[in-house]
Structure 1
Amino acid sequence: MKRPILWVLVAGILLGFAAAAYAYYNHRENRGRTAQVIAWIRSPQDHPDWRTPAGETCPGAPFQMPTEGFIGFLWDDSFRPGHRHSGIDIFGGGDPGDTPVYAAYAGYLTRLPEWKSSLILRIPSDPLQPGRQIWLYYTHLADPAGLSLIDPAFPPGTRETYVQAGALLGRQGNYSGTPNAPTGVHLHFSIVRDDGQGQFLNELDIHNTLDPSPYFGRPLNGPQNDGDIPHCTPTQGGGA
């Protein structure tokens, strides 16, 4: 009986080391990106090569950049043990309401009645996997108190309003979901899977989202990006 117990203990120790190594690696990369985000927020004019213009489309990629700024945090970054970031964060470098936000792709826009700072676009046919429906989620489009910065054309309760790629949706804000406890001014953008019944899944779970890298033609996968500024890559991958 002692030998099986010993093996269980050894396996547990090895798993612990593996988990610690994984956490160290991810948080090490995040510390570097966090330092870059802080430097950008303090003085974006000092880092012009970090800026990505709104509307820029990388060669061969279907989505255009939904807003201007520095793509600071990436998909699958980890900010604490057990957490996996489900999208990308784009920091405009200005105050709430300064930086416009646009549709990355043509689709059908919904804003639920309770959403102060969020929108979602239904894309009936995924451009990288035709026939699969996906959703584009936008959030933090409100000021610290929760005053919406979404374009007035999309009031609460809007459902299935068609928008062209490049249509103005609102402006970057810093509403965290808790009034007067702001985040940095940015857009959080994610690509959300469909539930198979025509509805979007919970965006907070990374398993319900897709790696945005091939959709934008940029290195936007956190664990696979060693600190490169996510500009256009020479070639694009396949579907997600």
Structure 2
Amino acid sequence: MSVALAGIVSGIYLLYRAYFSYTSRNRAVFEFLRNPSAHQEAVIPALTRCGEAPFIMPTSGMIGFLWGDSFRPGHRHQGIDIFGGTAAGETPVYAAYDGFLSRLPKWTSTVIIRIPSDPLQPERQIWTYYTHMADQNGRSLIVDAFPPGSTEIEVSAGTLLGYQGNYSGTVGKPTGVHLHFSIVKDDGQGRFMNELKIENTLDPAPYFGLRLNAGKNEADIPVCESE
């Protein structure tokens, strides 16, 4: 076998191990989406609070991908993905903590909530970011109370924001139905930073009381041990 062919075979094997191993979260997500009813032990109900954690669970589902997971070379996931196992528009999404909601004029599937005092570090401001709340055709699933252009609307933990969707940002190229949730840093000038960069986000683990950091949880699906 040539060196080049050996490299290709080795690469395929590593991809197989990473993406299709029964011990990986990736495989668990695929199995859950194929048959959600068979994997209800992995589902955390919306509005659940794990122990003394400050945040409540923003939606029902299996937390399939974590902060720091890598889907391709050079990429690190900047939040968590919660898969409801339902069709778009069926699984509600709620505010995880009290704050002030905004929705930029061009945001189809996204809202962001400003939290003036971080419950873990009260001297700083943070933002919670919720996205994929639209169907594959770009029809928003955010509730009418928060139309595009909304600014600083006060919400409390448990406020209904919308519903899980599968909008990828491109019509006709859906993702799996889920909520992507991130905790975004403030830039020090009262604005949220670019959520697409993991260095601009915070590890959500201590806010939910769950093992949501991929560096400390390589393969397991997090569940609320206090349930």
Could you tell me how far 1:48 is from its partner in structure 2? 1.3
Corresponding position of 1:162: 154
RMSD over aligned Cα atoms: 1.6
- TM-score by length of structure 2 reads 0.89
Could you tell me how far 1:28 is from its partner in structure 2? 3.1
Corresponding position of 1:219: 211
Q: Which residue identity lines up with residue 165 of structure 1 in the other structure? A: A
Corresponding position of 2:5: none
Decide whether the 8 Å contact of 1:59 with 1:217 is kept in 2. yes
Q: Residues 96-154 of structure 1, C-alpha deviation per residue, up to 9 Å, x if partnerless?
A: 00100000001000000000000000000000001200000000000001000000000
Could you tell me how far 1:198 is from its partner in structure 2? 0.1
What SS does structure 2 have at the residue aligned with 1:35?
helix
What SS does structure 2 have at the residue aligned with 1:72?
strand
Matched residues, number: 210
What SS does structure 1 have at the residue aligned with 2:44?
coil
Corresponding position of 1:4: none
What SS does structure 2 have at the residue aligned with 1:39?
helix
Q: Given the alignment, which residue of 120, 132, 140 partners 2:132?
A: 140
Q: Which residue identity lines up with residue 26 of structure 2 in the other structure? A: T
What SS does structure 2 have at the residue aligned with 1:188?
strand
Corresponding position of 1:20: none
Corresponding position of 1:28: 18
Q: 1:29–1:181: structure 2 CA closer, same or farther, 3 Å change rule?
A: closer
Within 5 A, what are the aligned runs for 1:17-166?
Answer: 28=18, 32-166=24-158
Corresponding position of 2:168: 176
Higher helix proportion, which one? 1
Instruction: Spell out structure 1 runs of 4+ moving beyond 6 A.
Output: none
Question: Rg bigger for which structure?
Answer: 1
- TM-score by length of structure 1 reads 0.85
Q: Which residue identity lines up with residue 104 of structure 1 in the other structure? A: A
Unaligned ranges ≥5, structure 1: 1-23, 235-240
